[in-house]
Every structure is written in structure tokens, then in C-alpha cells.
Amino acid sequence: MKLRDTKQLLNDLNLAPNKNLGQNFLINEEIAESITSLVKNQDYVIEIGPGLGALTKKLAQNNKKVLAIEIDRGFAEYLKKEAEKVNNITILHSDFLKYPLNKIKENINIVSNLPYNITTPIIEKVLLESNKLDKFVFMTQKDFIDRLLSKPGSKEYGPISVLISSLGNLEIFKVINKENFYPQPKISSCVSVFVCKKTVSQNDRKAFYEFVKLLFKERRKTILNNLSAITKDKKEAERKLSIVKILPSRRPETLNIDEIQLLFDIMLNKTRKK
Ligand code: SAM
């Protein structure tokens, strides 16, 4: 939908964009087309926050079944009526953060122009709550994606970047200028594609992420200090670090993903599977 049509529709529905729900609607058909072309011929696609449906119908044309979860009652009601015209879209008026993703038995592909105010909890949920995830295509503000893709040693590198790279491969697909949204956000956005490696169980993912968050809790302290807080025993922390040959004086953000994984395995008394 173009800008004029979007404004007209909002007017007809007597609705206005709600900043608190991160409502910035995509107003460029070609971009909507290129995003949805990234997920095709799938059995089950979930869309988070369909809004006025910029991506929803296109997703339904290319896939078997679409479940779109929208927190805003006004948009959900409008979309429910629209969905009656086709037979493969289900609209759920709900908070995605409360949706039981682990109940879905099919492989899942998720697509979303994410509400920017809850980007981190949504990404955490998608990555941690289901081991059925195949692909996650999402639009976020540009600076956020830089954080997700950050490398060891950089200021942005932290638990969520570690989690992402431990579970799969993330790539930027396209940068989208802010003029393509209504209302216009302050900065440009980015469409990214995350493809999941399916090797890690759901429980292991959660335990790993909790461990990484503790490891990064005091970024200015050494890895020995942070690990001692976890083991509650400095000698034990020193012993574990010497087994994996990590210098105790290093800072957590200098550890690469393999080193963190190794440390986690040692904490669980596991030998590393390759
Ligand atoms: N998909 C539409 C588009 O591309 O034009 C709208 C995207 S807009 C950036 C984000 C959407 O997410 C809004 O429709 C908003 O109401 C919805 N939303 C915000 N928080 C949500 C939540 N917790 N659960 C489900 N939807 C949510």
C-alpha cells in the first residue's frame, strides 16, 4: 500500500499509528514483495505484527498457511475481516511475547517488520522458545542489526550477538530508507535473514544464553571475576579456564563464540561435540 492509501485506510478505520506499539507501516509494495519472496512454499509461516497487512496477503499467496499475531485490537479486527476472503490466513489478536511457540509441531518460518520497542525480547523468544525454527526474516532499525552482527572485541558485542551466531547464520538482505514507512522512523531499517542450524535443543539454548548473560554481566571485570561469580569458587573458575586455555585476565567481550561454547561445555562437565 502506498502512503496515500495507508492514510486513507487508517482514516476509514478510525485508527492512528500508536508509537508505543512501534507502529511504522511499510508503504512500498516493491519492498513488501522482495521481503516476502524470501519465504516461499512453506507449510507454516508466522507473521509478528501484521498491522495493516502489508506483508500478510503476499505471504499467504506464496505459502500454505499463515498465522499472523497482532496485539492491536483495531488492526486485528480489520485483518480478520480481510482474512475471510482467503482460506489460509489466521489472525490472532494477541501479544506475540505470550504466544506458546513451543506448541507448534511443524517447522516454522517467521517474518516480521518488528515493533522496534520490543525487538530484543522478540528475537530472544524466537531463538530460545522453539527448536522448530527454520528461517527468521525480520526488519529492524539499522543500528540494532549492527549489534546482532558485532564481533568479539567491539563495544556492541554481547549476549544476543553470541546467541545469534551460536544458533545459525544471520545476513543483511537490504537496507530500507526511512521514507518507506508511515510514520517515518528516525533512522533507516534493515531486512535481515537468520537461518537456524538445528543442532541445539531448546533447554540447551536457554541454559547457554543464561550462562552467556552471566559471563557478560560485568563487562569491565576479567573473565576470572565473572566466572568466579558463577562457580562461587575462584579456584574452580581458575581450573576451568586453564582446562580451556583461556587467560583469566581477559575481558568477556574478547571471547569468540568457540571459546564461550567451550567454557559452557566445561561448566556442564561435557566434552565438546564437534
Ligand atoms: N507488518 C506491518 C507493516 O509492515 O506495515 C506493521 C509493522 S509495525 C513496525 C509493528 C506491528 O507490530 C504493529 O502492527 C504493532 O501493533 C504490532 N505489535 C506491537 N507489539 C506487538 C506484540 N507484542 N505482539 C504482536 N504484535 C505487536
pTM above 0.85, yes or no: yes
25 Cβ closer than 6 Å to some ligand 1 atom: yes
42 Cβ closer than 6 Å to some ligand 1 atom: no
- Tens-digit pLDDT profile for residues 30-73: 999 999 999 999 999 999 999 999 999 999 999 999 999 999 99
How much distance in Å is there from the Cα of 74 to the middle of ligand 1? Answer: 12
Below-70 pLDDT ranges, the chain? 270-274
29 Cβ closer than 6 Å to some ligand 1 atom: no
Residue ranges of domains in the chain, CATH in brackets:
3-199 (3.40.50.150), 203-267 (1.10.8.100)
Handedness of CA 156, 162, 167, 169 (dihedral sign): positive
Ligand 1 atom showing the smallest separation from residue 115 Cα? 10
How far apart CA 172 and CA 29 sit, in angstroms, is: 20
Residue 255 backbone dihedrals phi, psi, to 5 degrees: -80, 135
Residue type, 200: V
What pLDDT is recorded for position 7? 97
What pLDDT is recorded for position 270? 58
